Amino acid sequence: MPEPPETPGVPAKRRWIIPILVLPVNGVILIPAVVLWLSGYQWRANAPLLTVLGAALLCAGLGVAVWTMRLFHTLGQGTAAPWEPPKKLVVAGPYCYVRNPMLSSVFVMLAAEALLLNSWAVFAWLAVFFALNMAYFPLVEEKGLERRFGDDYRNYKRHVPRLVPRLTPWRGEPEQ
């Protein structure tokens, strides 16, 4: 896959490290850590089945997050950060099934954390994070995508759900 052009004076790796540190690390690590601290969290052993389920969800969520960020970088020629969004609409890989797989991966990782840490406080943060994003995406993000990508995005939006994946991949079906 072709690498996107370099931003003058900024190496590609640094273009990606900053958005990762600012966005997912805050939502998945720093804010949950503060939530745990504020809630007086005390670690307690979890049921083995919940630990295995949490670990599997964490691996799956992390895998999808890395995959989607890589697609933004290679196919979209941008990053997940609003200050350097993809220049091209990405409709490959998990984006054939769901419009926001990157966000879905964060939800899955937060659910995994709640299970692994046996923490209702982290689950509460997941609920708040989910509610904030369910307001933000239709009101801000999707309107911006419609402005940037026009009818291509509107067609994609009609066929691919926001969060609950399709059972079959969307392959750019023509309009009827």
Q: What is the pLDDT of residue 99?
A: 95
143 Cβ neighbours under 8 A, 6+ residues apart: none
Q: Who's near 106: CB < 8 A, 6+ residues apart?
A: 24, 27, 28, 61, 65, 129
Q: Which domains does the chain have, with CATH numbers?
A: 12-159 (1.20.120.1630)
| Strand, coil or helix: 73 | helix
First to last CA, the chain: 32
- CB distance 54 to 116 below 8 Å: yes
Question: Mutual orientation of helices 48-74 and 12-22 as an angle, nearest 10°?
Answer: 140
pTM of the predicted model as reported, rounded to 2 decimal places: 0.85
Asked if residue 87 lies in contact with residue 76, where contact means CB atoms within 8 angstroms, the answer is yes
Concatenate the DSSP letters of all residues of 109-131 into one string: HHHHHHHHHT-HHHHHHHHHHHH
Q: What is the pLDDT along the chain (176 residues), one digit of tens a residue?
A: 344 444 555 565 666 666 666 778 889 999 999 999 999 999 888 899 999 999 999 999 999 999 998 898 889 988 887 778 889 999 999 999 999 999 999 999 999 999 999 999 999 999 999 999 999 999 999 999 999 999 999 999 999 999 889 999 999 865 54
How far is 5 from 23, CA to CA, in rounded Å?
Answer: 23
Hey, is 106 helix, strand or coil? Answer: helix
